[in-house]
Structure 1
Amino acid sequence: MNDREVADYLLANPEFFADHAELLATIRLANPHGKAAVSLQERQMEMLRDKNKLLERRLAELLRYGHENDSISAKFNRWTARVMAERDPYALPRTISHGLREVFDVPQAALRVWDVAEPYLQADFTRQVGEEVRIFAGSLATPYCGANTGFEAAQWLASTVSAVSAAPPGEGSGASEAANATSGANGASGANATHGANGSEAIESISLIALRDPERDETGNVFGLLVMGSADPRRFHDGMATDFLTQIGTLASAALSRLLPR
Structure 2
Amino acid sequence: MTENEIAEYLRAHPEFIAKHIDLLNAHHNAEKGGVPDRKVISLSDRQIPQLQQKIRSLENKVDAFLENGRRNEAIWGALLSSSLALFKITREDVSPATISSTLRTHLNIEECRIFMLSDNQEYASEEENIFANFIMSIDKPKCLIEAPEEIKHFSRSWMLASSAYIPLSAKGSVGVLIFSSSDAQKFDPNIDTQFLERVGHIVSTAIDNACAFQNESFTQHE
Q: TM-score range by the shorter chain?
A: 0.5 to 0.7
In structure 2, the partner of 1:207 is 164
Residues 24 and 84 from structure 1, CA distance in 2 versus in 1: closer, same or farther, beyond 3 angstroms?
A: farther
* Secondary structure at the counterpart of residue 178 of structure 2: strand
Q: Quick check: 1:102 aligned with 2:93?
A: no
Amino acid at match of 1:206: S
| Percent pairwise identity | 21
Q: Quick check: 1:228 aligned with 2:173?
A: no
Give per-residue Cα distances to partners, 1:231-250, cap 9 Å, x unaligned. 22222111111111110001
The Cα of 1:94 is off from its aligned counterpart by 2.2
In structure 1, the partner of 2:133 is 135
Residues 205 and 45 from structure 1, CA distance in 2 versus in 1: closer, same or farther, beyond 3 angstroms?
A: same
TM-score if structure 1 supplies the norm length? 0.58
Question: Runs of 4+ in structure 1 displaced over 4 angstroms?
Answer: 150-153
In structure 2, the partner of 1:124 is none
CA contact (8 A) 1:146 1:238 kept: yes
Give per-residue Cα distances to partners, 1:118-177, cap 9 Å, x unaligned. xxx9xxxxx999232332233223212112335555xxxxxxxxxxxxxxxxxxxxxxxx
Amino acid at match of 1:56: E
Q: Quick check: 1:67 aligned with 2:70?
A: yes
Task: State the number of aligned residues.
Answer: 177
Give per-residue Cα distances to partners, 1:21-47, cap 9 Å, x unaligned. xx994379xxxxxxx753112211211
Q: Quick check: 1:241 aligned with 2:198?
A: no
In structure 1, the partner of 2:15 is none
In structure 1, the partner of 2:91 is 88
The Cα of 1:76 is off from its aligned counterpart by 0.8
* Secondary structure at the counterpart of residue 132 of structure 2: helix
Distance in 1, Cα, partners of 2:186 & 2:169: 25
TM-score if structure 2 supplies the norm length? 0.68
Q: For 1:76, which of 79, 84, 89 is the aligned residue?
A: 79
Distance in 2, Cα, partners of 1:212 & 1:239: 25
Q: For 1:38, which of 32, 36, 41 is the aligned residue?
A: 41
* Secondary structure at the counterpart of residue 144 of structure 2: strand
In structure 1, the partner of 2:115 is 112
* Secondary structure at the counterpart of residue 94 of structure 2: helix
In structure 2, the partner of 1:26 is 33
CA contact (8 A) 1:150 1:190 kept: no
The runs of 5 or more residues in structure 2 that have no matched partner are 1-29, 215-222
Amino acid at match of 2:168: L
Give per-residue Cα distances to partners, 1:192-246, cap 9 Å, x unaligned. x226xxxxxx612111111034x8xxxxx86111011122222211111111111
Distance in 2, Cα, partners of 1:27 & 1:60: 42
